[in-house]
Each structure stands twice: as structure tokens, then as C-alpha cells.
Structure 1
């Protein structure tokens, strides 16, 4: 077994254990086995068209939720029920992902709306999870939406990586859109970067604002400059 395979297996084991713990905390019916739902979700997250939106991304978002969890209620103590809803939303937020489709978040939210009641999770929490999944369309939670702030910051945290980490992220995104001609991709990607840079704040939690805002903006600006730099003209 290669080191990459070992790492993937370890990640999957950790994700399965976390899914069981999260669904139990969410109030799943004790007599229902959550494992088949983990099977379906992990299979979806490992589909061959994915290069960035993979199980590694899911694991990273959940890890960042752990980092940010103390911020979920501002300066107040952590509210476990809020965190549970956010974690479930992380599981579903890219569960449906086709890079050539525009309704991924809506279909992912609809999947949560079907699956969670089957597990015995109540309607209020199911509705909150679906709302959070749909919020990842804009990554622009309303003021005071602590659940939305936690999920969106955890999802966007990849933007604040080191130069090497960010380059790997950008390359994976490009690979997912390998079917798009280079010129069209550059224009579309540049539009996305400008939209992000135009937000007053990329990160809404105190930790995200303090630790991730500046490096994320630097990474986004550098990528945008690379994408929009005029092609050098040959000398006459």
C-alpha cells in the first residue's frame, strides 16, 4: 500500500467516525445505521470529475470548523447544536458537484433535505443544514448569522494557504474545468476572483478575520494578476 493510499484510507476512516458522531449529536434515530449514508456521501465526494472538491476538501473544511468553533457564538461559549448543524452542512455542501452545472448547491441542499429526515433528524435542523448549504452559493452570510459565518469561513479558508498550498488549490480548480478552453477559463476565473476581492470581508469570524483575511487577499490578487497579465508580444 502506497503512502498516498494509506493517507486516503486514514482520512476515510476518520471521516466515517466523524459522520457517526455528528449524526448522533444531531439526534439521528438510535435504531438507524448511519453508515450507508456515509458510504453514499463519500462515494459522491470521490467521483472522478473532482480534483479540488474531494474528500480531502471535506476533511479540510471539517478541520477548519474545529479551529473556528470557539468563534461560532462570537465571544460566547460554543453552542454544540450550532456546530452540529454546521458540520452536517459541510458534509452536504459539495455532495453534488458537476463543474459543468450551475445548480450544484441547490441539488446538494435537496439531498440533505431528503437524507437527514430518513436518519430521524428533526425538521428544524434539516432546514438549517439546507439553508447553510445554499449559503455557499454566495459565501455572504448576513450579520449575526454565526452558523453561516462558521461554514463560509471554513470553506474559504483554503484561500489563506501558503503560496505553495494556494498554487496546488488553483491547479486543482483548473483541472476540474479541464474541458473549458484556456481563454474562457481565465476570463471566468478572473470574474470569480474579482467578486471575492470585492467583498468587504472574506472572513466573518474573529479568527478568520485576524489570521486568514490578509493572506487570502494577497493570494487572490496574485492569481488575478497572473490570469490577466497581457501576453508578451514578440519583438519585431
Structure 2
């Protein structure tokens, strides 16, 4: 679902939504972004929308998922936690400005914040649609995954290769240790197997590059 449709479906003003969309596009085009750009959130909006439909979510619920998909990285400075809080604040402010009801404003903000630790109650299907879609890149083709991994490294270029390698290995090991990467059966069927292959391949590469690894 596109941005204007989602806003108007929640009762928001389409003209104000257009102004917010222009700001959103400008933010996602910031030069320091390599992965967390408009291409990424467009994919998340698409995949989360597909999952929302598969889960049988209603029109209003699907609009909330779409809004959170479009805005979950609207503020991105490679500061985990701070970025999500700032993105949630932007979301709440723009939805309020567009005249979206308060309950929907708060729900959209909650969904954005759920991406901080990728956690939410098991029965929160809106969050499940968003969080599973946000990790869909892990199950992409090997070529697309390699591009993603390279782009994320570029976004964290302030870190030395050694520090990045240590941190990335920890992240990859944590992901692979999880009993499941995706919250829903649908997402697991689509992406889990390929995601584990991609993660394992990257982990092996970083371990092989570590002169201290045995």
C-alpha cells in the first residue's frame, strides 16, 4: 500500500500527507545511506503488505502496517535505538499533523519502535508482518544478500575493519542461534532456508578473514 492511500485510509488529509511524503523521500535519499534507503522501505512496504493480506488483516490494520513500513527508518544515522525512537517520533508527528486519530498515531509509533529489538507479542500480527518483511533481505539471492551486507558495512564505515568484523560475527552468530529467524510460518516458508545459507556464508567469510580465528 502506498503512502497516500495509507494516510487517507486512516482519515488523514491527503495534501498534508503529500508534504510528509516529500520529506520522507528526501530523508531516504541522504548520501550516507547505502542500504536503509527508499529501495529498502519500498521492499518492506511490499512484503509486509503481502503478509498482512495473508494474515487476513483488515483495511485499517493494513494501512498501519504500511505506514510503519514506510517510516521505520525515516531517521537513520547508524545509531541503534536512537534511530528507531526518532523515527517513531517523526511518524507520530506527521500522522498527527495529517489529522489521523490518536489511537492510530500511537499504534503506528509502537510498530516502528518494535523494530528496535525486533520483538513484539506473538499475537501481534501487525508487528509480525512488519518485522518479518524487514528481515526478508536475509533470504534474498546470494548476489542481493552480498550487496546488502556490503552496503550495511559502508553505513558503519566509522568502525575499523577489526571492530566491524568482531561485531558482525557476533550479530551473525546470534541470528543463526535462533530457533527461527521469522515469526510467521508464511515468512519462514519463503525466506528461512535461504536466509540461514546466506548468514552462514557471511559468517564463514568473516571468520576466515580473522587472523586470530582457529
What range describes the TM-score normalised by the shorter chain of this pair? Answer: over 0.9
Please show how residues 206-225 of structure 1 align to structure 2 within 5 Å: 206-225=185-204
What's 1:67 paired with? 50
Contact 2:29–2:37 at 8 Å: present in 1 too? yes
Cα distance in 2, alignment partners of residues 232 and 198 from structure 1: 24
What's 1:153 paired with? 132
The structure whose Rg is larger is 1
CA RMSD of aligned residues (A): 1.8
CA positional deviation for 1:66: 3.1
Contact 2:64–2:108 at 8 Å: present in 1 too? yes
- Provide structure 2 residue ranges, at least 5 long, that are not aligned to the other structure: none
- TM-score, normalising length from structure 2? 0.92
What's 2:12 paired with? 28
Please show how residues 116-131 of structure 1 align to structure 2 within 5 Å: 116-131=95-110
- TM-score, normalising length from structure 1? 0.84
> Residue by residue, what CA displacement relative to the aligned partner does 1:182-204 show, whole Å, maximum 9, x if unpaired?
00011111122222223332112
Please show how residues 1-236 of structure 1 align to structure 2 within 5 Å: 18-29=2-13, 32-72=15-55, 77-100=56-79, 102-229=81-208, 231=210
Contact 1:26–1:84 at 8 Å: present in 2 too? yes
Question: What SS does the corresponding residue of 2:20 show, helix, strand or coil?
Answer: helix
CA positional deviation for 1:140: 2.4
- Provide structure 1 residue ranges, at least 5 long, that are not aligned to the other structure: 1-16
Instruction: Report how many aligned residue pairs link the two structures.
Output: 212
**CA 1:36 to 1:181, structure 2 compared with 1: closer, same or farther past 3 Å?**
same
